[in-house]
Structure 1
Amino acid sequence: MNLSIGTTCTAHGGSSEFVPSGVAVGTEPELNTDDFATFKLSEHTPLATIDYGVERAGYPFFHVDSLTNPVQVEVKYSEEFEGLNSPFGDGPYTFANQLGNSFRVETFNITETGRLRSSLLQGGQRWQSMRLLTDGDVSFSAVGFEATIDPVEPEDLPGQFSCDDETLNEIWKLGARAATAACVDKGTQKAIWEVDPTNGVFARSLRPSLSYKGTGLANYTLEFDTMIQRGGSWWSVASTLAGNAYTLLFTGELPDATRFANVNTTLTPPNTISLSYGVDFVNQTTLPSYVLDVFEVPFPVRENTCGHLSVSLNDTQVFNISKSSYPLATGEFTGAFGFGAYQDQEAYFRNVHVFDTHNGSSLYSNTLTTTDVLAEYGTQTNTESVCLDGPKRDRLVWLGDFIHTARIMGVSTSRADQARGTLQYLLDSQIANGELSISPAIGYDMKVAPESFSISGAYPLADYQLLGLISFHDYVRWSGDTAWAQETWPKWQKQINWIINHISNDTGLVQFTNGAFLGAQEDGSAVSCAAVQALTSAAEIASAIGDEESAAKYRKVGASLATAIYAKLWNNELGTYGAALSDMGNFSVSGTGFCITSGVASRNQTSQALARLSKLRLGPGYKDSSDESSTDPSTNISPNTNGFLLPAMFGNNASTTGIDLVRSLWTVMLPGDEERNKTATGTSWEYVNAKTEGPGLGLFTSLSHPWGGAATYILTEWVAGLRPAPGTAGFGYRNWIVAPETGITAGLKRAQARVETAFGGALSVQWQLNGGKVNAIIEAPETTEGKFTYHGRTIRLSGQTSYNVTVSV
């Protein structure tokens, strides 16, 4: 099985570039492309399809080789091929400021030959199209992306896996490449606003970026100056920092001299102010938006002319109309304000003044003419190396979703700086009660006034606190970074105490009040078992840094919680853990996974619960819970939650079932027939549709989401059999295990794996089954020690850097 890999080259100044593997020129998008070469767009062949082979990210560039006269070219970006046939590409992504273009379509006015570069990055895509909009011919000798992610290929990462099953090799790369694409270095995601000392901030093709200082405001009047450079200006009020807002789009007269040929005047009619509620003026799959009204401006709105706008919001009046006239707009008139520009539009903003509508007192004032506004409005260059949820969408630092990414990094990229930076950025968002923000945006300074972000609703999904704590443990486990763990320990203890305070004195189970992702937030098996695993993990770190008092406390609380789960949530008739005390007739993937990996389930319960999973089997994987429809064509399979099952299966004598899940669910993400070639990006997906085995949320699906890459670390740790020893002894791979039995059970004849250790070098194994014997060659730092295990036999290894072990099968 072969992937078409785009090449990487070095440009002037030493920066890396991603260049295409293929191009096709015609009248519509083409799935099959030829090797990339100089191409021309003309009246008869106006569209080029450009294929990068796998997920790429960066600032788009184009080298114009020749043109007959000035032309306009529309460029689309998409992870999935079908996005090139959509008017909006596979976007837009306007639910949060993500330090990149909010849109997946941008238009260029080309007036001369030479290099042309977009000012806003595109975070992740495999496909690109270029469509000539106007008369004339134009040829391009080069296109690509100035890389904003590490250009390293999976084959060149510090961590490695390979075996004699090529499908498993490609599956391992999915998570490795997804982590590489989602994790970004400090300073690579540049500021998205420009600041002019006279005209103020300049925004283009961006969701309104919000001042965190406005998150608690209500019943206010917002005043500002705006000067439209092209198309219009866009601002929001009563907005959360990520999610729904009331947005207003001020479209100018759209003069012929600056108007692009592809402007949608139905969506953005000239000389109007359009009012919407949601995240945009167009719907996204899971984020509906509503155009509430369109108001005509009774005079032509000129470009490059500064004007003053005032919008009154006092809970009863918007443009002299009642809020009750718009039942689809459910949000209260409370929240932040911000400024941006719609697709291909450009505008300046300055002299912002917010005052109390009732008494006229000043609430906020800023000229927007100094660079300090970048941090306030979340538009500054990223100040920390962090891992995002995904490169094209959800470009936020998600707390709970990092749980798989953290482990993938340990067996592939070994980027401790990025993993530590992610966790530090989350710690910087901690509020007084101990909670961490579940999804901070990377353009803000989270050290400043995190309580402001709390007001804006950035702390829901309480069980993400559990998953974040487990991620912290898993990072320390592979990195051995106990020094940083000790340095930040007081903050983690605040979070742990917050978790402990949510264990009910009545039921002995976890009870959250602000939502849960894994399952029921009150007395649920998934959340309660995840809490046991989080507390056990915290106890291990406490022991590693010498805080035995805290370690004992966390073990005791965890054991008490486990006892309550064991006694109250096991459904003997069902043969598994019930979803919650109030829902004992249902069960879930997450509940099964965490109740096993946390050690709550007994050996007998584990066997029964794993057998019971067959009732959840649907399509290529397992549906999330037994009360989810098996016939609804929109039912999705989550590689994320299915990933929680893999350690439970492989660690408890169900490796045959586990390897079947790896092959069935993750193979659909690889190239294959024509339909699979349209969706393969070389990276792991967010969701898979149970019926079609394609992307689970249509074009909205992230096809590069490391939360869906659990198979990567499972292949290293269980199929190759290379993993750290249990407990603190295994931190940083000081003690390790090589156990090839699972791989041999899966039918492999050979496998090899390599990981970086905290002890001055790599740890690697190559094993091969031959003539009734398995031979393993192990390389390890001399200061580490380990054991080789096979079928009940254990051989201890220490004091050397190379070991050769042979045992009979």
Structure 2
Amino acid sequence: MATTLSFTSPATFLDSKNQKRSPQYEVPQYILPVRVHSYTGSVKSAEHLVARPHEPCQYDAHHSCTFEQPRAQHEQSSVILDFGVAVAGIPVIEVSSIEKDPSLSTVLLDISYSEGFPGIERPGGDGPYPFSAGADTLRRNRFRIRGVGFYESKHVQGSQRWMRITLVSPEPCSISISMVGFKPTTMNTPLEELPGLFECSDPGLTSLWQYGARTLQLNSIPARTVPPPWQLSEDMGILIDSQRCNAYGWGGHWTDYAVEVEGMVIEGGFSWNVRVAGGRPGLLFVLNVASGSNPANLELWYGYYNKPQITLVPILLSRQDITGIDIIPGEWYKIKTVCCGSLDLSVYINQKLIGVFNQGGDGSSDSTLDKVPQTPRGSVGFGAGQDQLCRFRNVTVKSIPAQEILYTSGLNNPSVLGDFGIGWNQFPYIFDGAKRDRYAWTADIIIGGPSLYYSTAGTEYIRGNIEASMLRSTAKDGELGLLPAGVPPGREFERPSSDTMFNILCVNYSLYLLTVLHDYWLYTGDDDFLSRYWDRVTGVLAFVETLVNDQGLVVAEGIMAADYDYYNGRQEGISTKRNVLYVAAIKNCVTMAESSAINDLALAKTLTARAERTSTAINQHLFNSDRQHYNITTKRTVGFQQETHAWVLLTDIVPTSHKQLLMEKFKTLYTGTHNHSPTQFTSDAEGIKPTISPITSAFHILAALSTDDVPSAEHILRSVWEPICDTSSPHFTGTTWEFLLPDGTPFEDQFCSYAQLFSVGPTFILSRFMLGIEPTAPGFKSFLVAPRFPVEGVTWAQGRCPTPSGEPIIVRWQFFDNGWKLWCKAPAGLTGRVVVPKVVLKRGKRLMVCGLERGLEQDIEINKDSRQNLDIEVLF
């Protein structure tokens, strides 16, 4: 019998050139702005900085934009440029002409960056971000122009839609620029040409899938593409330009010592750390040269940097004028700092005592910097404050009183970068946020990983994060331990693992990573990788089991109780979420233990018993019968938490009688927001700022789908990401945001990451549940095609899902007035199963497979022995 239904959706996605993931290669070309937003002062022909129409990566070197600073002009000449969406790369300009007073050695251009438009109106862009050495500390680069030619920044700017160029040199001067843009450091493959694809009849949902994919592109960092924050010279040591201090990586346990180093000011001053450890804030000295009527001075701060980011505000402890010695730019000075017990810190320049500083404070080591902790131990570090350019060389650290050399270096050899953990990134990584933190966290890929598998297929980035954490873990060779929550991007893995660099060891991050490893294995079929690090997996499971109390519940305190939602406070003690994560991780480990790659059935049996024990304990001890939901912790019993209850449902430990009750409870999260999108907690939760979280909302959607509550899933999908998709918003970047305020604007203002891995959940949710493709065995050896997210108004969907075979699984389906049609194409050798949606079967009267009528069955097999094009029609 001939088929009666014909697809009307566009079929360009079937183009064969887009079905395979080719090696990571793109023709080198600049990323150029697409329009001029505005300009002030004397700016001529700003339109010449915009990319040519229909040639977005080409510019005309024969035309230029001129910035002038004439006499008596009070405002600086500047232009704001728009790149249309968030882009990444190393800032670069081409100068075609320059005019300046003979007394000026350089003309100064400041270029600032911002993801959202509000940030570009600020002098420093939307920064600074001093937390991670993987990011440029500042969001404003100073270009020192001496003549015509190309100039580029020393560092990557990871995500920005907006750029502002400002001529800051004093009058009179002018400069002409024929090109400004970025040398890309991440892939910019057009989204419709990615290995994975999703399209549907709702353009908004198609765009949302793409915004997640673009976010993944910006955060996928190829190996050796993050430059060190220091530049090395054999005779002149290290050059540092406005970068946070970075500390020697094996000195975190040092107590009493004297550090001597030679420093040279080129512009502004220089800075250094003492007694700083683990990537935490510490004691920061900033030397400032004389400027105008202000004498040279030395400041002591507690913090990462002498300028704040919103969540990391440094504290100025003391400022002392420098007397008796002139600090002259271009000359070397010997700086000595003495740290001994709780005594005052002494600073000498060229053997002259120039300052004595009280260490101050008896507060907490909380990284919010609201108090100054005591600093009895820690390493030494070097950097440059805002608008400071400097050099250091010849450092020696000696213990007190033994005078043992703890560290010495000329600071003029590439090995120095490894000493301080700031070399080129050895692994490909996927960062948490393209602007900030630019760090290889592990929790973020619990959502980012699945979305990557359905879009860019850059599995090496996920593997890089997992492998880096595994290599740093102590949970190996039969030892107990946890998995580091993240890894400094510049760490060299040939070095000893006993470093004191930034290293958070907490239970939840370790459990996330076990699930991330399971997902990586499921989507790639990489048995060798799983086997290589299985001892780390068992070590983590053994360690967490030591935290289980007599009730069968995990108990964690202090830093071990930390989680990615730091702004909600730690869930110390007995946390429902932590215990549910433990059950989820155990169940995933059971699947891996039972596989042919591990084949440890005895362990699988033991783990199954642990999962059952803790599941029972959660229901017995953490369900609040008075409030009819699960407690946040045994101490925090007021308030309903979105993520906890999503995990409880997804882990399937909820008694059937409670499922519908909990789905109704979720609706209490919808009040108090601009469009009834859910918040993370109900308003009665104490000490919690109301926020809308895309990552926890993604888990909420999955929980709703697991209970067949499709209307709730659709409501969350549309409402949470609605502001992110609003192209008229000043915050629009074509990428997904970290979290939001109840009014739909970014949380924490411009600090918010606008290209955040947390928030790409719709990319995999739409591919997996609306299009319907997912693996049911590692590496897609068997797979499922089961569209089960029937969103109101969506009449067709189509796309492809990459597989390890190199060829994708392709699916398209469509509703018609008189029926429903699905077409699927799979690589040879894979076994598949198509499940006809329930909403279709309910209306169906006849079912045809490849033109042959069959009974109204729900499951149809896909032949594994040939390239099978399966055509299914259900006639109403």
For normalisation by structure 2, the TM-score amounts to: 0.84
Alignment: residue pair count: 770
**Once the 2 structures are TM-superposed, how far is the Cα of residue 332 of structure 1 from its aligned partner?**
1.8
Counterpart residue number, 1:348? 391
**Whole-angstrom CA distance in 2 between matches of 1:750 and 1:252:** 66
Q: Matched residue of 2:507: which SS?
A: coil
Residue 684 (str. 1) matches residue 736 (str. 2): yes
Q: Alignment partner for residue 615 of structure 2, among 548, 562, 566?
A: 562
Q: Structure 1: any 5+ residue segments left out of the alignment?
A: 1-11, 255-264
**Whole-angstrom CA distance in 2 between matches of 1:401 and 1:804:** 38
**Whole-angstrom CA distance in 2 between matches of 1:400 and 1:759:** 28
Residue 414 (str. 1) matches residue 457 (str. 2): yes
Residue 279 (str. 1) matches residue 304 (str. 2): yes
Counterpart residue number, 2:16? none
Superposition pairs for residues 329-728 of structure 1, below 5 Å? 329-432=372-475, 433-446=480-493, 448-453=495-500, 458-504=503-549, 506-513=550-557, 514-517=560-563, 520-544=571-595, 545=597, 546-617=599-670, 618-619=672-673, 620=675, 621-626=677-682, 635-673=690-728, 676=729, 678-690=730-742, 692-725=743-776
Q: Matched residue of 2:150: which SS?
A: strand
Determine if contact 2:831/2:863 at 8 Å carries over to the other structure.
yes
Counterpart residue number, 2:869? 802
When structure 1 is superposed on structure 2, of 581-590 and 592-601 the one drifting more is 581-590
When structure 1 is superposed on structure 2, of 377-386 and 553-562 the one drifting more is 553-562
Residue 202 (str. 1) matches residue 239 (str. 2): yes
Determine if contact 1:460/1:515 at 8 Å carries over to the other structure.
no
Determine if contact 2:42/2:77 at 8 Å carries over to the other structure.
no
Q: Matched residue of 1:494: which SS?
A: helix
Counterpart residue number, 1:9? none
Residue 142 (str. 1) matches residue 209 (str. 2): no
Residue 79 (str. 1) matches residue 111 (str. 2): no
**Whole-angstrom CA distance in 2 between matches of 1:449 and 1:627:** 48
Counterpart residue number, 1:784? 830
When structure 1 is superposed on structure 2, of 399-408 and 547-556 the one drifting more is 547-556
**Once the 2 structures are TM-superposed, how far is the Cα of residue 450 of structure 1 from its aligned partner?**
3.0
**Whole-angstrom CA distance in 2 between matches of 1:380 and 1:350:** 18
**Once the 2 structures are TM-superposed, how far is the Cα of residue 606 of structure 1 from its aligned partner?**
2.2
**Once the 2 structures are TM-superposed, how far is the Cα of residue 13 of structure 1 from its aligned partner?**
11
Query: In the TM superposition, what whole-angstrom CA distance separates every residue of 1:184-241 from its partner, at most 9, and x where no partner exists?
Result: 0111112332222222222222111111111111222221111222221111112134
Q: Alignment partner for residue 248 of structure 2, among 211, 215, 224?
A: 211
Counterpart residue number, 1:119? 154
**Once the 2 structures are TM-superposed, how far is the Cα of residue 154 of structure 1 from its aligned partner?**
2.1
Determine if contact 2:487/2:502 at 8 Å carries over to the other structure.
no
**Once the 2 structures are TM-superposed, how far is the Cα of residue 28 of structure 1 from its aligned partner?**
8.2
**Once the 2 structures are TM-superposed, how far is the Cα of residue 19 of structure 1 from its aligned partner?**
1.5
What amino acid does structure 1 have at the position aligned with 2:296? Answer: N
**Once the 2 structures are TM-superposed, how far is the Cα of residue 290 of structure 1 from its aligned partner?**
1.1
**Whole-angstrom CA distance in 2 between matches of 1:737 and 1:221:** 64
**Once the 2 structures are TM-superposed, how far is the Cα of residue 457 of structure 1 from its aligned partner?**
6.1
Q: Alignment partner for residue 65 of structure 1, among 96, 117, 135?
A: 96
Residue 175 (str. 1) matches residue 212 (str. 2): yes
435 and 16 in structure 1: CA distance in 2 versus 1, 3 angstrom threshold: farther
**Whole-angstrom CA distance in 1 between matches of 2:497 and 2:682:** 39
**Whole-angstrom CA distance in 2 between matches of 1:469 and 1:500:** 14
Q: Matched residue of 2:408: which SS?
A: strand
Q: Matched residue of 2:108: which SS?
A: strand
Q: Matched residue of 1:751: which SS?
A: strand
Query: In the TM superposition, what whole-angstrom CA distance separates every residue of 1:258-285 from its partner, at most 9, and x where no partner exists?
Result: xxxxxxx89xx55211111122223321
**Once the 2 structures are TM-superposed, how far is the Cα of residue 25 of structure 1 from its aligned partner?**
4.5
When structure 1 is superposed on structure 2, of 311-320 and 12-21 the one drifting more is 12-21
Higher Cα Rg, which structure: 2
Q: Matched residue of 1:746: which SS?
A: coil
388 and 270 in structure 1: CA distance in 2 versus 1, 3 angstrom threshold: farther
Counterpart residue number, 1:261? none
771 and 115 in structure 1: CA distance in 2 versus 1, 3 angstrom threshold: same
Q: Matched residue of 2:657: which SS?
A: helix
When structure 1 is superposed on structure 2, of 365-374 and 694-703 the one drifting more is 365-374
Determine if contact 1:577/1:609 at 8 Å carries over to the other structure.
no
Counterpart residue number, 1:308? 334
Q: Matched residue of 1:747: which SS?
A: coil
Q: Extract structure 1 runs of 4+ deviating beyond 6 A.
A: 629-632
Q: Matched residue of 1:459: which SS?
A: coil
Q: Structure 2: any 5+ residue segments left out of the alignment?
A: 1-24, 53-63, 101-105, 346-354, 364-370, 842-857
Query: In the TM superposition, what whole-angstrom CA distance separates every residue of 1:430-452 from its partner, at most 9, and x where no partner exists?
Result: 12532222122111124533333
What amino acid does structure 2 have at the position aligned with 1:622? Answer: P
**Whole-angstrom CA distance in 1 between matches of 2:832 and 2:626:** 42
**Once the 2 structures are TM-superposed, how far is the Cα of residue 460 of structure 1 from its aligned partner?**
4.2
Query: In the TM superposition, what whole-angstrom CA distance separates every residue of 1:537-596 from its partner, at most 9, and x where no partner exists?
Result: 111122222232322222221121111112222234433222223334433112101111
Q: Matched residue of 2:93: which SS?
A: strand
Superposition pairs for residues 260-279 of structure 1, below 5 Å? 271-279=296-304
**Whole-angstrom CA distance in 2 between matches of 1:635 and 1:246:** 34
354 and 117 in structure 1: CA distance in 2 versus 1, 3 angstrom threshold: same
Aligned sequence identity (%): 23
Q: Matched residue of 2:774: which SS?
A: strand
**Whole-angstrom CA distance in 2 between matches of 1:330 and 1:558:** 40
Query: In the TM superposition, what whole-angstrom CA distance separates every residue of 1:276-330 from its partner, at most 9, and x where no partner exists?
Result: 1122223321112111221111122011211101112222202434334797422
Counterpart residue number, 1:747? 793
Determine if contact 1:96/1:241 at 8 Å carries over to the other structure.
no
Q: Alignment partner for residue 767 of structure 1, among 806, 809, 813?
A: 813
Determine if contact 2:128/2:308 at 8 Å carries over to the other structure.
no
**Whole-angstrom CA distance in 2 between matches of 1:581 and 1:120:** 47
271 and 452 in structure 1: CA distance in 2 versus 1, 3 angstrom threshold: same
Q: Matched residue of 2:653: which SS?
A: coil
**Once the 2 structures are TM-superposed, how far is the Cα of residue 785 of structure 1 from its aligned partner?**
2.0
391 and 797 in structure 1: CA distance in 2 versus 1, 3 angstrom threshold: same
**Once the 2 structures are TM-superposed, how far is the Cα of residue 627 of structure 1 from its aligned partner?**
5.6
Counterpart residue number, 1:294? 319
Q: Alignment partner for residue 53 of structure 1, among 81, 84, 105?
A: 84
Q: CA RMSD in A?
A: 2.5
Query: In the TM superposition, what whole-angstrom CA distance separates every residue of 1:74-95 from its partner, at most 9, and x where no partner exists?
Result: 1101111111122221111112
Counterpart residue number, 1:7? none
Query: In the TM superposition, what whole-angstrom CA distance separates every residue of 1:117-161 from its partner, at most 9, and x where no partner exists?
Result: 112221221111001123323222211111111122322211111
91 and 29 in structure 1: CA distance in 2 versus 1, 3 angstrom threshold: farther
Query: In the TM superposition, what whole-angstrom CA distance separates every residue of 1:352-405 from its partner, at most 9, and x where no partner exists?
Result: 122223443332222222211111112211101011111111111112122111
Q: Matched residue of 2:154: which SS?
A: coil
When structure 1 is superposed on structure 2, of 642-651 and 429-438 the one drifting more is 429-438
**Whole-angstrom CA distance in 2 between matches of 1:495 and 1:427:** 11
Query: In the TM superposition, what whole-angstrom CA distance separates every residue of 1:502-555 from its partner, at most 9, and x where no partner exists?
Result: 222x12111122223266232211111111111111111222222323222222
**Whole-angstrom CA distance in 1 between matches of 2:277 and 2:445:** 23
270 and 79 in structure 1: CA distance in 2 versus 1, 3 angstrom threshold: farther
Counterpart residue number, 2:853? none
13 and 57 in structure 1: CA distance in 2 versus 1, 3 angstrom threshold: closer
Residue 20 (str. 1) matches residue 33 (str. 2): yes
